Structure 1
Amino acid sequence: MSTKHFLPDPTHLVHTSLAALPLLNPSLALDSSNKIIYLRPNTLPATQKVSLISGGGSGHEPSFSGMVGRGLLSAAVAGTIFASPSAEQVRTAIMSRVDRFADKEDGGVLVTVMNYTGDVLNFGMAVEKARAAGVRVEMVVVGDDVGVGRKNGGKVGRRGIAGTVLVHKISGALAAKGAGLSEVARVAKLTAENLVSVGASLEHVHVPGRKGMDESERLKDGEVEIGMGIHNEQGSSREVVTLPELVGKMLRQMLNQTDEDRAFLKIDSSDEVVLMVNNLGGVSVLEMGGIVTEVVGQLEKSYGIRPVRILNGTYMTSLNGLGFSITLLKVVDTGIEGSSILELLDAPCEATGWSAPVLAQTWAEQNTATREGDESASKVLTSSGLKTVPALMQQMLTRALESVIAIEPEVTKFDTVVGDGDCGIGLKRGAEAILRHIQEHPLTGDVVVDLASIVPVVEHNMDGTSGALYAIFLNSLVTALRAQGPGQATAKVWAAALQASCDSMLRYTPARPGDRTLVDALYPFVETLAHTGDVKAAATAAQEGAARTRGMRASLGRSVYVGGSGFEQVPDPGAWGLARFFLGLAGLERGA
């Protein structure tokens, strides 16, 4: 693992790398402050009515920014190296850096993201904010990696790796042909469902600006990590193998139908298959040629598969990773005449990451237009007509927030036992910020307007996974409340909106009751409110749900990695803090 870099400052490295893309393709522009590469205005064909956005941590180039161009992505949002971009960056891309096609039937925005917790939550939060602002937007999550099987993947599921690029290419080509949002999203999901990939590497990569790995953590000479993720994540095994042995093991993980842990996709010799052999960044072109030959030979000899398309190149890297990945795409019927998987894959595009040359016409146009400004989601919201008594709601909310602030030491104590000790501080920080906000801007009585004004406060002051979950939930709640229409915000109205928000949140997290998360307090509150219309009964149910997490083994969140017996001693900190909020809202003293 080399720790030497020409650009050792990671922040400077990301910004300068992004700045190169408009130099290489004049149809692109860079929003430097938000790290967004996007197509310049008046670039797409007049028939197109769907914009495509993706992104993720930097270090995987040419994905995602190198996939922006005609016939492919409309914009890509970059995070720091191996870290998700923020929800605000993604929201800006959706709202201000691409065409939203609100004037076209079934026009809108497709957001495609790889299955990593931070990416799903932050992109999901931005999607919900855009929906709350009235934008038609769909989100597709890609998980194609078989390196980690069902048992270890658990509720999180498969990681997204190089196969994601094929989803971009196929959905981008379909959008360029004028298909609507529902059709483009459907074909993107169909493509994702028919992908399997696995990677292998001879060494971990070094992230500029970080300390190198200890010698004990590094791979030994001749050792290969099979299934290594694109962020140095552990794979399925470390073995000393030859290339033929390695390729054989990788193909078995993708194609062996008797392996119940990894039989994600059934491919027969009669199926048409696309093969992509991807360079993780540090393998020579000479060696990649030898790897492709080995993979193609074993596919035919051992499985009777002769790929109808073979792609070889650098599509999704792990910085300068000394490894490669294999992706197989089963060619299935899209149901659209003239737009088969192969036709879409073969369609022309203009993106540097797809190794497609920039057309002379693009250089000649010298398009200098850019997109400026920022259309805030809050400006789009208008009075909903859904009313409540502002003084009463102000009193209840103040009481609930003060309860959360008061319980911070107890929540912090619990989180020190089963987490990293920051849950109580995070809840307190968010509660104090909301309290200041409603003191400076008293509630108006329009529940949609009031809640919409609080959501940015949560987003800016609560970080981490719980902050993202709260923001997604509240953004969804704005949309759900607005859908209730004008009238009085009764308990029945609140219950219906809260239930819809719970359903929406399930798209972005696998957390369910019994997983020892804040959901164990949230769901009992919502369900009891729906059945009884009684806020006090609902708050009591939330407290009982939080109490039940004592002794419950976590299946999600940081507690999974902490280990030990702490979960037997204390309840889940997040659930406990949320239950205290509900108790304060209802005007109840905390029970024993």
Structure 2
Amino acid sequence: MRTRHFVNDPVQLVAAALKSHTVIRPELRLDADNQVLYAPRRTGQTSIISGGGSGHEPSFTGFVGEGFLSASVAGGIFASPSSRQVLAAIENVEHSEGVLVTVMNYTGDVLNFGVAVEKARARNPALQIETLVVGDDVCVPRSRIGKVGRRGIAGTVLVHKVTGAMAAAGYKLRDVARVGRLVAANLASAGVSLSRVHVPGHPPSQEESGESSADPIELGMGIHNEAGCDWRSGVDAELPAVVRAILRQLLDVGDTERNFLPNPTKDAILLVNNLGALSVLELGAVVSEVADQLRQDYQIRPIRVFAGTFMTSLDGPGFSVSLLNNVDTGVESSLVALLDAPSNVSGWHASTRVSAPKSTPEEAGASPTSRQEATTGDEPKSNLKCDMGQTTRRLRAGLEALEAAEPDVTKYDSVVGDGDCGTTLKLGAEGILRQISKAPPRDIVDLLIRATASVEETMQGTSGALYAIFLNKLTHHVRLRVHEAVPVDVEFWIDALDSALAALTQYTSARPGDRTMMDALVPFIAALRDTRSLKAASQAAQEGAVATKSMRPAFGRTVYIGNEDTWMGEIPDPGAWGLAQFLQGLAS
């Protein structure tokens, strides 16, 4: 957990963050004393006010604008705004068509917003004003929530979107409030986090310091840093298991404690929310896993999927999943149309909907590998004399040695590179092993075509490109000789490897001594040419890889990070080391 911040005064932090919205969007107005952010007034529209503690951005300030909120009220970090602040917001929005005050179900928020609403009514008896309380969290069981009700979490954003779209379309307050309550009643959310978060200006607690559990994961983590309903550790933290647990809480109709969606619709709306610290890449993996499990286990295919950072818990390392039944709104605009309606706020992440062309079954199922494999059937029969059994066994041994070397390669690359070299090489090895396990290669050309196609599909980055160039040229050289009735022996391979190396050097200026894979590849080919011994050649490759420990880098990320003094003499080049282990296995 991160406990250092650039701004450590929580009051200053909130004030500066509020001011930023008027810098980014000058049409917004800020009441700094009351910490209220206003959108330009719209006559003829219902005004919508919401808010809560700070630390949940972009909620609620990021949703102020056309199609969402008329104003947001910000409290301190994880603290409800006062009734005075809320009353200031109510009194300074457009009143002509009434005001809807939407609040998440937390005691402090409900009380302070409620006091403000009652004061506003007392001051202006003609004011049309309604309150909508949203509680969508299902993680806390019914037996524990008692009369308090469910907590409000990220699903509240969908309530804001629907009611905001209705207000922008000119619907009356009574319809906006009714549909808002309908949405809240058909909404369920659950969250998970890897740890608590640290509030700027506060000393970290023992729990926040991570002393309470080893590698914990907390199901039902609240957005105010409050505890969840279940602590788990170890293998339970793997994404499929976590998503399975979350969806069970959302959709298990047999769970009387949490069954808040008794009749889930098969075309529900899905919102996957980043609690603050997930990378975009990891959030994408979460979206895929949730969608797959919904389809496979519950036969639910969401009609809309919204993914991004909507309601955070500062920089919480977790996510939440919200499901909304696709219900009839009872007005002209459908639920989906209201969700698709345009808005100009900064916090809503949704692209304009376009109709995607339907692919044919062949297009949907085709992959680069399958198309490549389809071409191998047109290859002329090879006259080359090759012991495919022995060749395949050697190749398998080399690939398995490369897989086994992945931890070391990754460790080395984490020091001198990006940390991905081991994974890249292992993916390439696994892909080729899958290819040769599907069916025995027909001949050496078939084997090389499959291996090359697999490398192109599974290996990315610089390593993937270099191996693809080398293998494509190797395949090309062998293809040119398929009509020759000659043995595929060491002489044959020397010619093929020389040809492939010549092609590779046209695309990279790396040479032995530059601390790259060439420090293993070139000695291997040279020793094979000199000794005609695969074992001697693989040993030369190993010695070349070991020698890179004392070389200064000429290529790759290592050139830029300049940390040679920390590893010189100890860490070999990861790419050279991985290749050497493959060649050692090949010769074993």
TM-score (norm 2): 0.58
Instruction: Please state how far the C-alpha of 1:265 moved relative to its aligned partner.
Output: 1.1
Q: Secondary structure at the match of 2:347?
A: helix
Checking the alignment, whether the CA contact within 8 Å between 1:112 and 1:139 is kept in structure 2 is yes
Checking the alignment, whether the CA contact within 8 Å between 2:195 and 2:210 is kept in structure 1 is no
Instruction: Please state how far the C-alpha of 1:25 moved relative to its aligned partner.
Output: 1.8
What do you get for the CA RMSD once the two structures are aligned? 1.5
Match of 2:161 among 169, 179, 182: 169
Match of 2:306 among 305, 311, 336: 311
Q: Which has the larger radius of gyration?
A: 2
- Report whether the alignment pairs 1:114 with 2:104: yes
User: Which residue does 2:239 correspond to in 1?
Assistant: 243
Hey, what's the Cα distance between the residues in 1 that align with 2:154 and 2:58? Answer: 11
Checking the alignment, whether the CA contact within 8 Å between 1:274 and 1:310 is kept in structure 2 is yes
User: Which residue does 1:31 correspond to in 2?
Assistant: 31
Letter of the structure 2 residue corresponding to residue 304 of structure 1: Q
Q: Secondary structure at the match of 1:352?
A: coil
Instruction: Please state how far the C-alpha of 1:217 moved relative to its aligned partner.
Output: 6.4
Checking the alignment, whether the CA contact within 8 Å between 1:282 and 1:323 is kept in structure 2 is yes
- Report whether the alignment pairs 1:322 with 2:317: yes
Instruction: Please state how far the C-alpha of 1:284 moved relative to its aligned partner.
Output: 0.7
User: Which residue does 1:412 correspond to in 2?
Assistant: none
Q: Secondary structure at the match of 1:343?
A: helix
Instruction: Please state how far the C-alpha of 1:20 moved relative to its aligned partner.
Output: 0.7
1:234-270: per-residue Cα shift (whole Å, max 9, x none)?
11111121110110000000000110000111244x5
User: Which residue does 1:179 correspond to in 2?
Assistant: 171
Instruction: Please state how far the C-alpha of 1:66 moved relative to its aligned partner.
Output: 0.7
Checking the alignment, whether the CA contact within 8 Å between 1:205 and 1:232 is kept in structure 2 is yes
Letter of the structure 1 residue corresponding to residue 250 of structure 2: M
- Report whether the alignment pairs 1:201 with 2:193: yes
1:156-181: per-residue Cα shift (whole Å, max 9, x none)?
01000000000000000001110111
Instruction: Please state how far the C-alpha of 1:221 moved relative to its aligned partner.
Output: 3.9
Match of 2:258 among 262, 265, 288: 262
- Report whether the alignment pairs 1:141 with 2:156: no
Q: How does 1:178-577 map to 2 (within 5 A)?
A: 178-214=170-206, 218=211, 220-240=213-233, 241=236, 242-268=238-264, 271-337=266-332, 339-355=333-349
User: Which residue does 1:89 correspond to in 2?
Assistant: 85
Hey, what's the Cα distance between the residues in 2 that align with 1:289 and 1:251? Answer: 17
Hey, what's the Cα distance between the residues in 1 that align with 2:23 and 2:334? Answer: 33
Checking the alignment, whether the CA contact within 8 Å between 2:192 and 2:318 is kept in structure 1 is yes
Letter of the structure 2 residue corresponding to residue 123 of structure 1: F
1:422-478: per-residue Cα shift (whole Å, max 9, x none)?
xxxxxxxxxxxxxxxxxxxxxxxxxxxxxxxxxxxxxxxxxxxxxxxxxxxxxxxxx
Shift in CA distance, 173/317, structure 1 to aligned 2, threshold 3 Å: same
1:465-505: per-residue Cα shift (whole Å, max 9, x none)?
xxxxxxxxxxxxxxxxxxxxxxxxxxxxxxxxxxxxxxxxx
Unmatched runs of 5 consecutive residues or more in structure 1: 102-106, 358-592
User: Which residue does 2:115 correspond to in 1?
Assistant: 125
Q: Secondary structure at the match of 2:291?
A: helix
Checking the alignment, whether the CA contact within 8 Å between 1:200 and 1:325 is kept in structure 2 is yes
Hey, what's the Cα distance between the residues in 2 that align with 1:6 and 1:267? Answer: 47
Letter of the structure 1 residue corresponding to residue 340 of structure 2: D
Hey, what's the Cα distance between the residues in 1 that align with 2:221 and 2:313? Answer: 10
Q: Secondary structure at the match of 1:353?
A: coil
Checking the alignment, whether the CA contact within 8 Å between 2:266 and 2:301 is kept in structure 1 is no
Hey, what's the Cα distance between the residues in 2 that align with 1:206 and 1:245? Answer: 27
Letter of the structure 2 residue corresponding to residue 11 of structure 1: V
Hey, what's the Cα distance between the residues in 1 that align with 2:90 and 2:317? Answer: 35
User: Which residue does 1:15 correspond to in 2?
Assistant: 15
Instruction: Please state how far the C-alpha of 1:67 moved relative to its aligned partner.
Output: 0.5
Letter of the structure 1 residue corresponding to residue 45 of structure 2: K
Q: Secondary structure at the match of 1:110?
A: strand
Checking the alignment, whether the CA contact within 8 Å between 1:202 and 1:219 is kept in structure 2 is no
Checking the alignment, whether the CA contact within 8 Å between 2:138 and 2:250 is kept in structure 1 is yes
Checking the alignment, whether the CA contact within 8 Å between 2:22 and 2:28 is kept in structure 1 is yes
Instruction: Please state how far the C-alpha of 1:271 moved relative to its aligned partner.
Output: 3.1
Instruction: Please state how far the C-alpha of 1:295 moved relative to its aligned partner.
Output: 0.5
Instruction: Please state how far the C-alpha of 1:219 moved relative to its aligned partner.
Output: 5.3
Checking the alignment, whether the CA contact within 8 Å between 1:162 and 1:316 is kept in structure 2 is yes
Checking the alignment, whether the CA contact within 8 Å between 1:73 and 1:172 is kept in structure 2 is yes
Instruction: Please state how far the C-alpha of 1:64 moved relative to its aligned partner.
Output: 0.5
User: Which residue does 1:520 correspond to in 2?
Assistant: none
Hey, what's the Cα distance between the residues in 1 that align with 2:222 and 2:107? Answer: 14
Hey, what's the Cα distance between the residues in 2 that align with 1:254 and 1:267? Answer: 11
Hey, what's the Cα distance between the residues in 2 that align with 1:109 and 1:199? Answer: 31
Match of 2:146 among 134, 140, 154: 154
Letter of the structure 2 residue corresponding to residue 110 of structure 1: L
1:106-149: per-residue Cα shift (whole Å, max 9, x none)?
x2000000000000000000000111122211000000001101
Q: Secondary structure at the match of 1:93?
A: helix
Q: Secondary structure at the match of 1:30?
A: strand
Letter of the structure 1 residue corresponding to residue 119 of structure 2: K
Hey, what's the Cα distance between the residues in 1 that align with 2:272 and 2:71? Answer: 25
User: Which residue does 1:69 correspond to in 2?
Assistant: 65
Shift in CA distance, 291/218, structure 1 to aligned 2, threshold 3 Å: farther
Q: Secondary structure at the match of 1:354?
A: coil
Q: Secondary structure at the match of 2:257?
A: coil
Checking the alignment, whether the CA contact within 8 Å between 1:273 and 1:329 is kept in structure 2 is yes
Checking the alignment, whether the CA contact within 8 Å between 1:51 and 1:99 is kept in structure 2 is yes
Checking the alignment, whether the CA contact within 8 Å between 1:281 and 1:318 is kept in structure 2 is yes
Hey, what's the Cα distance between the residues in 2 that align with 1:276 and 1:218? Answer: 32
Letter of the structure 2 residue corresponding to residue 188 of structure 1: G
Hey, what's the Cα distance between the residues in 1 that align with 2:198 and 2:36? Answer: 25
Hey, what's the Cα distance between the residues in 2 that align with 1:140 and 1:233? Answer: 23
Report the count of equivalent residues. 346
Hey, what's the Cα distance between the residues in 2 that align with 1:341 and 1:149? Answer: 28
Letter of the structure 2 residue corresponding to residue 306 of structure 1: R
Letter of the structure 2 residue corresponding to residue 303 of structure 1: Y
User: Which residue does 2:549 correspond to in 1?
Assistant: none
Q: Secondary structure at the match of 1:124?
A: helix
Letter of the structure 1 residue corresponding to residue 244 of structure 2: G
